[in-house]
Amino acid sequence: MKDKIILVVDDDRNICELLNLYLTNAGFRLLFCHDGSSALSILKEQKVDLILLDIMLPVINGWEVCRIIRCTSAIPIIMLTARDMLEDKIQGFDIGADDYIVKPFEPKEVIARIKARLKENKADPERVEGILKLGDIIVDIHKYEVWQGDQLIDLKPKEVQLFYFLLNNKNIVFSRDQLLEKVWNYDVIVDTRTVDVHIKRLRENFGDKNPSWSIKTLRGVGYKLEVK
């Protein structure tokens, strides 16, 4: 993890000083900015390995910053915020955040989660390549885009992640709880109907007339992307 660059986007200078102390001692290199617009400007000029992103930011809030980044990049994003409602966590994961930490936090936990995300990003060769194909369908996880032929399919970031995961593990059945863990990375109890809603959206977007594949429901078990 030595020399990995972390971009901290937070308008609380005390939080930034605390993170600077602990993360620097842990061997990370840090960049700081205090509003959403500055974060996007930095990312155009500087390659970073992970982003710690507050939600309540001046100029452009963290939700919108995350959405914009996910249009072009799969860089790990950890939300670091005082917003602790379950609905906020779900929204964060739905727009493409990889993890969600609530303030006040333990610095050692932040370091552990950063290391876990960086290790996962390095260890997963599909995430490095980031492109999967299924017939005339191309899934580009870096750009969070799914194309069918020359048509861009209108999917939300979490729908793209779910489809990518199912395609990367085609013909394997996953329970709703497993999908919540693998795709949403939830560490709290969440209504499993969240998965059902996203599966329904995928089916609506792709239709049910794909002769070579389909998203199957195994009643009482879960879902799989079945490729014939």
- Lowest-pLDDT range of 77-81, 153-157, 186-190: 186-190
What is the model's pLDDT at position 67? 84
Average pLDDT of the chain to the nearest whole number: 87
Residue 4 above 80 pLDDT? yes
Tokens of 51: 């982003």
- Lowest-pLDDT range of 12-16, 49-53, 82-86: 82-86
CATH fold label, 129-227: Arc Repressor Mutant, subunit A (1.10.10)
Sorted by where each begins, the domain ranges of the chain are 5-123, 129-227
Sequence length of the chain is 228
| Residues sharing a CB contact under 8 Å with residue 95, sequence separation 6 or more, in sequence order | 63, 66, 67, 70, 156, 157, 158
- Lowest-pLDDT range of 10-14, 24-28, 165-169: 165-169
Residue 54 above 90 pLDDT? yes
127 pLDDT tier (thresholds 50, 70, 90)? very low
* Stretch 155-184: mean pLDDT: 89
- β-pairing, 99-102 with 50-53? unpaired
114 pLDDT tier (thresholds 50, 70, 90)? very high
Note the pTM of the prediction, 2 decimals.
Answer: 0.65
> Quick one: 5-123 is in which CATH superfamily?
Response regulator (3.40.50.2300)
Determine the Cα–Cα distance for residues 50 and 121; give it in Å rounded to an integer: 10
Q: What is the DSSP letter of 141?
A: T
With a pLDDT cut of 70, the percent of the chain lying above it is 91
Tokens of 164: 């990518």
Residue 155 above 60 pLDDT? yes
- What is the three-class DSSP state of 8? strand
- Lowest-pLDDT range of 54-63, 87-96, 127-136: 127-136
* Stretch 165-193: mean pLDDT: 81
* Stretch 35-48: mean pLDDT: 92
Residue 209 above 90 pLDDT? no
Answer whether 74's CB lies under 8 Å from 46's CB. no
Tokens of 68: 């914009």
Tokens 């959403």 — which residue?
36
